[in-house]
Structure 1
Amino acid sequence: MTDFTYPSFGYVPPRTGPQGGSGGTEACRVAIVGGGPVGLTMALDLARQGIASVLLDEEDSVSTGSRAICYAKRTLEIWDRLGVGARMLVKGVTWRLGKVFHGEQQRYSFDLLPESGHQYPAFINLQQYYAELYLVEAARQQPLIELRWKHRVSDLQPGNDNVRLTVTTPDGDYILLADHVLAADGARSTIRRKLGLDFKGQVFEDRFLIADVKMKADFPVERWFWFDPPFHSGGSALLHSQPDDVWRIDLQLGWQADPDAERQPERVIPRLQAMLGKDAKFELEWVSIYTFQCRRLERFRHGRVIFIGDSAHQVSPFGARGANSGVQDADNLAWKLAHVLRGDAPEALLETYDAERSAAADENILNSTRSTDFISPKGTTAKALRDAVLDLAADYAFARKLVNSGRLSLPSTYRDTPLSTPDRDAFSAGPPPGAPAIDAPVDEAGGWLLGQCRAGFTLLAFGAVPDLPPNLLDRIAVRWLPADGLAAQRYGAAPGSAYLLRPDQYVAARWHQPSRQDISMAYDRALARSA
């Protein structure tokens, strides 16, 4: 059985009504509905920027089962900024190598982060319950976050000035009036249903078994993916390592599989024995059946209600795009909402959350759909083509680019965002406006570039650049970097080059010789204060 002890966070009665009982009305600036990784990340990021929030969750513990386990480099960098990245890294299983098999033969392997000089690896594997626990413990240290467990949103009524939430607790109902509601309540979102919204997209006719097994095994810490393996003829299989000697196994079952029957131990164990060997000693820890879905809301912002994570979009689990994209939703929205609430930016800035993260969702859905089509080819011709590509991949690099066992999560570049200042200077390297910043070591003491960009807007200055305008001295942090180090190389920088980073560590603008006016105009544009 699992080594993890599920905590009970404890119910706290509402503050309203007689003697703190139910029946009254409260108010807050931001209500976050859902206490999973996305909602907790949102609360921590808002608190870091001085914005208080109330987080509501109908349970009082972390999620059951490992669920999302693969956390990408970009997600770890976000969590590092929020003070939990290092803890995730220590507990998680670090990996970067993947292998693809067809039948009994390995066709090729790949390295997700072949270069050194990065603080965080390409991926770690960590059960979702650990990730949630670490985020909860961090949130408990923040006086600006109020965690309310066993508080279920049972109704909402959007208004011009606020959103009226009816919250049901063991002691009865109360009313919470929120200036903004952030819906992080997952794929079965109550908020989405109450607003009468639905997903648009595709549900694929295939089913997969997830089984977490606890066992001692000498498999390397790699991602192994099989097409049509001998132990599971006609299907696909995936193997991942997790902490505590737990291994994740995914097996393709087909659309005709009965979900209730297939999750029973008497059906699961023989399948695992066929894969691991009849004499393999293992214990079942968690079993689930899932169906591929690639869908999203048409819009993520509906007035004062904004959707993040699985409440806004769904993708198939191959490629680790679900939880990672949800955390990146929170990363995108938090700083924008904070600036609007502080009066530093117009409400138009919130519209760019919808524009940027809708485009990211479309990118994830496209990649996820292509993965699904490759893993589950429709018809004999498509399967023959897929198998031919796999055979060619053993010897030819071009064919490996066509193999799709789940293109793994990468951060999106916001190519068409109005918040970016277009390049006027030519750069030989480096992230363009709308792309996430790249990490690099910046001193011999072990400092990292992204670790120095946590305060909000940051100007990366490679050598001498103009002083900031007086009105921006307390709004943009300047980080001086040598013009001849690894960071300069990765950014294509020369003496006098500069990058302006947004609070989410995305590039807003870059120049080789910026003026004060350049910096000021780019800052205003990044806050939607000018075209």
Structure 2
Amino acid sequence: MSAAKNFSRPYRRSKDQDTSRPARHRVVIVGGGPVGLSLAADLGVRGVPCVVVDGKAAFGEGSRGICYAKRTLEILDRLGVGERAVEKGVTWQLGKVFRKEELLYQFDLLPEAGHKMPAFVNLQQYYLEQYLYERCQELPAVDLRFQNRCTGVEVVSPELARIRLETPDGPYALEAEYLIACDGSRSLVRQALGLSFAGRVFEDRFLIADVKMPADYPAERWFWFDPPFNPGQSALLHKQPDDIWRIDLQLGWDADPVEERRPERVRPRLEAMLGKERPFELEWISIYTFQCRRLQSFVHGPVIFAGDAAHLVSPFGARGFNSGVQDTDNLAWKLAAILAGRAPAALLATYRIEREAAADENLRHSTRSTDFITPKSHASRVIRDAALSLAAETPFARALVNSGRLSTPTVYDTPLSTPDTASFGGTARLGGPLPDAPLVRPDGRPVWLLNLLGPGFTLLYDGAELPFAVPEGLHVVRIGRDALDEAGLFRERYDAQPGSAWLVRPDQHLCARFRAVEPHAIGAAMRRALGWELPR
């Protein structure tokens, strides 16, 4: 059994428990899972004080979320745990799709070189929680309070929320200018405010099993339609560290979720897949139902929702945890700017605009995947099977096959971006996260572009010297002086020309770019990106 599974989070009494009135904090985060801890770490590296409350005393059971996409890994790298996750995890980029025993086709999620982070890393969630927990302990601004169980939340005013907590020493309460609900799919905060999800619950059940076994299968994503070991259904196989393998088996809607979790029911299913001669141990078993649902609004006065507390998607496509961390990536810098007085409170409205659009994008992909994997009518099954029959020979049919469109970051169509005044090629997109690129420092040391960005706004400039002074607090990276583009990939990905400039938000999304930048244009683009041009 992994040490991370037994990694406890001790209870420590807080001075707030000794006050007669609820202590007030600027930010309180409910939920100490990977989404809540990512938000706490992001605020902590920006020096924003926050309190994290969670009722658990240990990390969650089972591997749960395991597939971390390249963009999420880049965010985790900015927070100080990305390299650790990659080192421990299983790196992969190749996926294979089978029908029965036939390989229909394979796909490469990152065919080009020149990126620090891989396409995907598989890592048990309890490891990532441990890494984020330890990172938060290093940040003085983060106050971790575990075995502090949320028992109630109320909105006191448009600027204040109150939370009731239960601890081993009894109850107490806190007040927060911003209360961030990261407490998962069964969010007590959501229930306390009387909020509910809208969307679809799909009539099908799936078995998840973590299996410990020695196996020489490659580190790839394998997905089967109608495999001989699970006829008429689907299956998925992923490799994890420590000789753990994730297996998903479709069961059908009529499966009894209690009965199907019994080891004596699970073992024969796995033996049919793996062979009776292969020894294995059952590490974790769970049954889940596909859901594609979200809150109508992620912001309710001083209460803000992120991760599974805000939206739920089916697990095929790895869109749950990845979109949750991207929620916090979007939210943290905006809260920091508002609390420091650098941005108006109206900036928070763009968290709704950008992340609700991202949730809708994920829900669309997840719904289409689920409809393809589990067709619910004769006509849809005939169309699905026809696409599968053609996919082995015809590339166009492969685009119709949907075994789970894997997580990709959202390109924001947002009022915070300054529209282009000139055309740009390359892969960098306005509103999207920056593509990474390998660079070289003047002393010959290699460095990655994303690691050169500052915690606030950054201006990338193609040239040795800017011809004018930049706004106070803006970090500048000069391509050609601070770092050299010897591989030519920066020029290719950004369609760079001498004198061009790119303004990057604190979450590493591109918010403005200029072929020939004027002095006033940078300040105006920063004001726009900070929300000063938004309606009050």
Query: Does TM-score exceed 0.5, indicating one fold?
Result: yes
Of residues 327, 337, 340, the one that matches 1:339 is 337
Find 1:153's aligned residue among 150, 163, 177: 150
CA–CA distance in structure 2, aligned partners of residues 175 and 282 of structure 1: 47
Residue pairs, 1:78-477, within 5 angstroms: 78-160=75-157, 161-415=159-413, 417-443=414-440, 444-463=444-463, 466-467=466-467, 469=469, 472-473=471-472, 475-477=473-475
Is 1:509–2:509 an aligned residue pair? no
What secondary structure is seen at the aligned counterpart in 1 of 2:29? Answer: strand
Partner Cα distance (1:324, 1:468) in 2: 39
Give the AA of the match of 1:337.
Answer: L
- The superposition leaves residues 94-142 of structure 1 with CA deviations (integer Å, 9 ceiling, x where unpaired) of 0000000001100000000000000000000000000000000111111
Partner residue, 1:524: 527
- Of 170-179 and 353-362, deviating more is 170-179
* Cα displacement (A) at 1:163: 1.1
Distance 1:454 1:260 in 2: 50
How many angstroms does 1:451 deviate by? 0.7
Match of 1:498 among 497, 501, 510: 501
- C-alpha contact 1:16 1:26 (8 A) present in aligned 2: yes
Shift of 1:376: 0.3
1:7 to partner: Cα distance: 1.3
CA contact 1:38–1:327 (8 Å) conserved in 2: yes
Distance 2:469 2:304 in 1: 34
- Quote the offset at 1:153 in angstroms: 1.3
Distance 1:121 1:200 in 2: 34
Pick closer, same or farther for the CA change 1:186–1:41 going to 2, 3 Å: same
1:392 and 1:465 map into 2 onto residues whose CA distance is 56
How far 1:25 sits from its partner (Å)? 2.4
Percentage of identical aligned residues: 57
In structure 1, how many angstroms separate the alpha carbons of the residues matched to 2:58 and 2:136?
14
Residue 71 (structure 1) aligned with residue 74 (structure 2):
no
Tell me, yes or no, if the aligned pair for 1:23 and 1:172 is still in contact at 8 Å: no
The amino acid that maps onto 2:521 is D
Deviation per residue, 1:227-249 (Å, 9 max, x gap): 00011100000000000000000
Secondary structure of the residue that 1:239 maps to in structure 2?
A: strand
* C-alpha distance in 1 between matches for 2:36 and 2:4: 22
Per the TM alignment, residue 381 of structure 1 is displaced from its structure 2 partner at its CA by: 2.1
Distance 2:467 2:506 in 1: 20
AA partner of residue 495 (structure 1): P
What amino acid is aligned across from residue 230 of structure 2 in structure 1? H
SS at match of 2:15: coil
Distance 1:454 1:37, change over 3 A: farther
CA distance in 1, matches of 2:521, 2:454: 22
Which position in structure 2 is the counterpart of 1:57?
54
Superposition deviation, residue 466 in structure 1: 4.1
Question: Quick check: 1:465–1:498 contact (8 Å CA) kept in 2?
Answer: no
Partner of 2:6, secondary structure, is coil
DSSP-derived class of the 1:438 partner: coil
Unaligned runs of 5+ in 1: none
Q: Structure 1 residue 170: deviation in Å?
A: 1.4
Root mean square deviation of aligned Cα:
1.4
SS of residue matched to 2:12: coil
Q: Residue 150 of structure 2 aligns to a residue in which SS?
A: strand
Q: Alignment partner of 1:505: what SS? A: coil
What is the rounded CA distance, in whole Å, between the counterparts of 2:166 and 2:469 in structure 1? 51
Which whole-Å CA distance do the structure 2 matches of 1:245 and 1:398 have between them?
Answer: 37
| 1: CA distance, partners of 2:2 / 2:106 | 31
Greater Cα offset, 292-301 or 385-394? 385-394
Does the 8 A contact of 1:23 with 1:174 survive in 2? Answer: no
Q: Give the drift of 1:2.
A: 4.8
In structure 2, relative to structure 1, the CA distance for the partners of 1:522 and 1:465 (3 Å cut) is: farther
Q: 2:39 is aligned with what amino acid?
A: M
Q: Tell me the amino acid that sits aligned with residue 437 of structure 2.
A: A
* Partner Cα separation in structure 1 for residue 201 and residue 5 of structure 2: 35
SS in 2 for 1:427: coil
Call closer, same or farther: CA 1:476–1:144 in 2, change over 3 Å: same
Q: Secondary structure at the match of 2:455?
A: coil
User: Is the contact between residue 213 and residue 282 of structure 1 (CA under 8 Å) also seen in structure 2?
Assistant: yes
Mapped partners of 2:7, 2:492: distance in 1? 47
Structure-2 separation of matches of 1:94 and 1:44: 24
C-alpha displacement of 1:410? 0.3
CA distance in 2, matches of 1:307, 1:293: 18
Q: Which runs of 5+ in 2 are unaligned?
A: none
Compute the displacement of 1:173 (Å).
0.9
Aligned residue number for residue 486 of structure 1: 489
Change (3 A) 1:462 1:185: same
Matched residue SS, 2:232: coil
Aligned length: 525
Q: Following TM superposition, by how much is the alpha carbon of 1:340 offset from its aligned partner in structure 2, in angstroms?
A: 0.2
SS in 1 for 2:446: coil
Q: Determine helix, strand or coil for the equivalent of 2:439.
A: coil
Task: Give the letter aligned to residue 11 of structure 1.
Answer: Y
Counterpart for residue 11 of structure 1: 11
* Change in 2 beyond 3 A, CA 1:242/1:34: same
Note if contact 2:4-2:130 (Cα within 8 Å) is conserved in structure 1: no
2:247 is paired with a residue of what secondary structure? strand
CA displacement, residues 509-528 of structure 1 (integer Å, 9 cap, x when unaligned): 01110111111110000001
Deviation at 1:455, TM superposition (A): 2.2
Distance 2:387 2:454 in 1: 44
1:24, CA displacement in angstroms?
A: 4.9
Once the 2 structures are TM-superposed, how far is the Cα of residue 279 of structure 1 from its aligned partner? Answer: 1.1
